[in-house]
């Protein structure tokens, strides 16, 4: 890992100039995260548990413009006590610049009893000390389907997946539900596709080099992942409404076609967070289920892609450390999963009410090979360019070579010190 670029003297000056101290007079905490709507309602229940237990008031701000708001607050010397960051890449930036304060020790003397080796290594990004707590996690390498209408066993290999795609297309049924819209970050559903394909086609080592910025975008491994995605979803009849509809459809709406009569599409590649949206379609395991993204010769054990929302401490205090300890502990970790719309990386959480959820949770807490979402590890300039390229490719597959050339130029323009390498499997 690269050495941390500390700005502790600068931070001390900012705090002194603002009249702040390590522990404010009022017993309250400020928490900033991206969750609004139903997600905010769920997170507020997590926060209420802490308030009831400690008497410390938590003032929550939810905004979809998290990056802009946090950056502005930090620059003004008005950072929140706690911020929940959506990616390890963003966490690393704040750690390098000295804005994040470690919370080493909050997991006690035996942290391995609560978190797997690879989760513990992620939480120690850049410094060897615990920098973050995964508020909730998601399994990415899964494909959702409707068992009632699917009409065949789920594919277990890549050949079976492509054969199923071809067979459904031949029947006049769109195999894939695809929605690329995700304001303000449209395109990321396409990046998830390419990441999963590259991981399973070329293996964890190539995936790790690519996410860390040391594998060229025009390399055979990366180009093959893009063309494979194109073969699956850009062939006429593959996607409900065609690629134009996919570009205009919000990601949260794409899977609804699996539940129409007759079904408008049959499979959706999307993360475990979609389970919350599917619940109004019926019973998990009966009306909807999932199968793992198929393994391959390069990835025979089926390494899986995962993501996490990471709570970090920007203003150190006793109450902030208590809050972080609560979030990491089973007490705080079980609240959101018990509502049926989130997953925990904590091994001690056992509140999942159905087999679909339990299977996902078991994978997330296992010591099996998990690889963190590649675009979440990339610098923002690279990740943003990746998302835009996914949209452009879906609209015009013939533009692939020029898109990869442009992405490679972005990669070579990034300072190697701004790249983040996190090993698959810890």
Digit-coded pLDDT (tens) for 272-320:
999 988 998 999 999 999 999 998 777 777 789 999 999 999 999 999 9
The CATH classification number of 8-138+305-366 equals 3.40.190.10
Query: Using 50, 70 and 90 to split pLDDT, how confident is the model at 426?
Result: low
- In this chain, the answer to whether the domains covering 8-138+305-366 and 142-304 adopt an identical fold is yes
- Kindly report, residue by residue over 169-211, the tens digit of the pLDDT: 999 999 999 999 998 789 999 999 999 999 999 999 999 999 9
Assign residue 366 a region: left if phi > 0, alpha if psi is -120 to 50, beta otherwise?
beta
CATH H superfamily, domain 142-304:
Periplasmic binding protein-like II (3.40.190.10)
pLDDT for the residue numbered 23: 37
pLDDT for the residue numbered 1: 34
For the entire predicted model, the pTM comes to: 0.90
Angle between helix axes 188-202 and 380-395 (nearest 10 degrees) is: 90
CA–CA dist 168, 164 (Å, integer): 6
Residue 4 pLDDT more than 50?
no
Count CA atoms closer than 13 A to 397's CA, side-chain side: 16
Average confidence (pLDDT) over 239-257: 95
Query: Using 50, 70 and 90 to split pLDDT, how confident is the model at 17?
Result: very low
What's the mean per-residue pLDDT of the chain?
Answer: 90
**Domain coordinates of the chain in residue numbers?**
8-138+305-366, 142-304
Q: Compute the CA torsion angle 397, 400, 406, 407 (nearest 10 deg).
A: 100
Q: Are 229 and 410 in contact (CB under 8 A)?
A: no
CA–CA dist 144, 264 (Å, integer): 14
Residue 109 pLDDT more than 70?
yes
E strands within 328-413?
A: 370-372
Percent of the chain with pLDDT over 70: 94
CA–CA dist 41, 11 (Å, integer): 33
Residue 12 pLDDT more than 60?
no
């Amino acid at each position: 890992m690269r050495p941390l670029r500390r700005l502790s003297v600068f931070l001390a000056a900012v705090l002194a100039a603002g009249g702040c101290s390590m522990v404010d007079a009022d017993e309250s905490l400020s928490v900033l995260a991206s969750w609004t709507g139903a997600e905010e309602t769920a997170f507020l229940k997590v926060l209420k548990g802490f308030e009831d237990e400690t008497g410390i008031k938590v003032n929550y701000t939810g905004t979809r413009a998290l990056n802009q708001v946090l950056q502005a607050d930090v620059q003004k010397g008005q950072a929140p006590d706690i911020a929940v960051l959506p990616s390890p890449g963003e966490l690393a930036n704040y750690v390098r610049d000295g804005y994040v304060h470690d919370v080493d020790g909050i997991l006690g003397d035996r942290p391995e009893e609560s978190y797997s080796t690879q989760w513990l290594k992620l939480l120690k990004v850049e410094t060897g000390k615990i920098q973050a707590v995964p508020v909730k996690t998601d399994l990415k390498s899964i494909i959702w389907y409707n068992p009632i209408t699917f009409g065949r066993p789920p594919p277990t290999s890549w050949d079976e997946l492509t054969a199923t795609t071809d067979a459904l297309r031949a029947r006049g049924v769109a195999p894939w539900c695809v929605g690329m819209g995700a304001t303000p970050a449209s395109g990321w559903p396409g990046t998830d596709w390419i990441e999963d394909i590259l991981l399973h086609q070329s293996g964890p080592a190539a995936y790790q080099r690519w996410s860390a910025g040391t594998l060229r975008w025009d390399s055979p491994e990366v180009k093959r992942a893009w063309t494979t995605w194109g073969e699956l979803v850009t062939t006429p009849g593959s996607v409900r409404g065609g690629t134009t509809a996919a570009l205009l459809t919000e990601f949260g709406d794409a899977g609804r076609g699996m539940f129409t009569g007759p079904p408008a599409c049959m499979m959706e590649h999307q993360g475990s967070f979609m389970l919350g949206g599917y619940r109004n379609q019926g019973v998990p395991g009966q009306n909807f289920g999932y199968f793992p993204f198929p393994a391959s010769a390069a990835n025979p054990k089926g390494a899986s892609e995962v993501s996490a929302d990471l709570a970090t401490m920007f203003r150190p205090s006793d109450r902030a450390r208590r809050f972080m300890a609560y979030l990491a502990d089973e007490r705080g970790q079980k609240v959101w999963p018990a509502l049926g719309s989130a997953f925990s990386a904590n091994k001690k959480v056992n509140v999942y009410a159905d087999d679909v959820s339990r299977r996902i949770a078991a994978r997330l807490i296992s010591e099996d090979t998990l690889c963190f979402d590649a675009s979440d590890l990339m610098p923002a300039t690279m990740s943003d360019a990746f998302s835009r390229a996914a949209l452009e490719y879906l609209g015009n597959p013939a533009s692939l070579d020029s898109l990869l050339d442009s992405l490679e130029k972005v990669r070579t323009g990034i300072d190697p010190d701004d790249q983040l390498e996190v090993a698959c499997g810890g």
